[in-house]
Structure 1
Amino acid sequence: MTGEIAAILAMDGIASGAIYLLIGLGLVLIFAVTRVIFVPFGDIAAFTALSLASLETGTRPGTVALVAGLALLATLIECTALVRAGEIGRLPRTLFFYLVLPLIPVAAVWLVAGMALSMPVRIALSLALVLPIAPLLDRIVFRPIADASVLLLLTVAVALHFALSGMGLLFFGPEGVRTKPLADAVLDVAGLIVNAQTLLIVIAAIVFSGLLFLVFEYTLLGKALRATAVNRTGARLVGIRPATTGTIAYLLASLLAGISGVLIAPVTTIFYDSGFLIGLKAFVGAIIAGMTSYPGTALGSLLVGLLESYASFWSSAYKEVVVFGILIPVLLWRSLSMAATDEEEEAEE
Structure 2
Amino acid sequence: MDTTIALILAQDGITTGAVYALLAVGLVLVFAVTRVIFIPQGELVAYGAMTIAALQAGQFPAAAWLLAASGLAVFVKDAVAWLGPQRAALAPGFALRSLLANVAWPLAVLAAAWLLPLQSLAQPLQVVLTLAIVAPLGPMLYRLAYEPLADASVLVLLIVSVAAHFMLLGLGLVMFGAEGVRSQPFSDLRIELGPVTLTGQGLSVIVASLLIMAALSLFFSRTLAGKALRATAVNRLGAQLMGIEVARSGQLAFLLAGLIGAFSGVLIGPVTTLYYDSGFLIGLKGFVAAIVGGLASYPVAAAGALLVGLIEAYASFAASAYKEVIVFTLIVPVLAWRSLTTHRQLEDEEE
Please give the TM-score of this superposition, normalised by the length of structure 2: 0.95
Pairing of 1:229-308 with structure 2 (within 5 A): 229-308=233-312
What is the deviation of 1:113?
5.6
What is the deviation of 1:39?
0.5
Two-structure CA RMSD over aligned residues (Å): 1.7
Moved more, 314-323 or 87-96: 87-96
2:14 pairs with 1:17? no
SS in 2 for 1:183: coil
Conservation of the 8 A alpha-carbon contact between 1:53 and 1:177: yes
2:225 pairs with 1:221? yes
Assess, with a 3 A threshold, how the Cα gap between structure 1 residues 113 and 73 changes in structure 2: closer, same or farther.
farther
SS in 2 for 1:179: coil
Conservation of the 8 A alpha-carbon contact between 2:56 and 2:119: no
SS in 2 for 1:193: strand
Q: Name the residue aligned to 1:5.
A: 5
Q: How many residues of Structure 1 are paired with residues of Structure 2 in the alignment?
A: 346
Alpha-carbon separation, structure 2, partners of 1:342 and 1:39: 24
What is the deviation of 1:149?
0.4
What is the deviation of 1:103?
2.8
2:143 pairs with 1:111? no
SS in 2 for 1:166: helix
What is the deviation of 1:114?
5.3
Q: Deviations over 1:145-180 (max 9, x none)?
A: 100000110111011010001000001100000011
What is the deviation of 1:99?
1.6
Alpha-carbon separation, structure 2, partners of 1:78 and 1:334: 41
Conservation of the 8 A alpha-carbon contact between 1:37 and 1:157: yes
Assess, with a 3 A threshold, how the Cα gap between structure 1 residues 213 and 190 changes in structure 2: closer, same or farther.
farther
Alpha-carbon separation, structure 1, partners of 2:153 and 2:81: 23
Pairing of 1:121-160 with structure 2 (within 5 A): 121-160=125-164
Pairing of 1:39-58 with structure 2 (within 5 A): 39-58=39-58
What is the deviation of 1:267?
0.7
What is the deviation of 1:92?
2.5
Alpha-carbon separation, structure 2, partners of 1:190 and 1:340: 53
What is the deviation of 1:340?
5.0
Pairing of 1:68-87 with structure 2 (within 5 A): 68-84=68-84, 85-87=86-88
Alpha-carbon separation, structure 2, partners of 1:243 and 1:190: 53
Q: Name the residue aligned to 1:101.
A: 105
Conservation of the 8 A alpha-carbon contact between 1:71 and 1:103: no
Moved more, 132-141 or 122-131: 122-131
Moved more, 15-24 or 108-117: 108-117
Alpha-carbon separation, structure 2, partners of 1:152 and 1:284: 21
Moved more, 284-293 or 107-116: 107-116
Moved more, 60-69 or 110-119: 110-119
- Runs (4+) of structure 1 moved beyond 6 Å? none
What is the deviation of 1:81?
1.6
Moved more, 251-260 or 225-234: 251-260
Alpha-carbon separation, structure 2, partners of 1:99 and 1:320: 41
Alpha-carbon separation, structure 2, partners of 1:183 and 1:115: 17
Conservation of the 8 A alpha-carbon contact between 1:55 and 1:113: no
2:174 pairs with 1:170? yes
Conservation of the 8 A alpha-carbon contact between 1:64 and 1:110: no
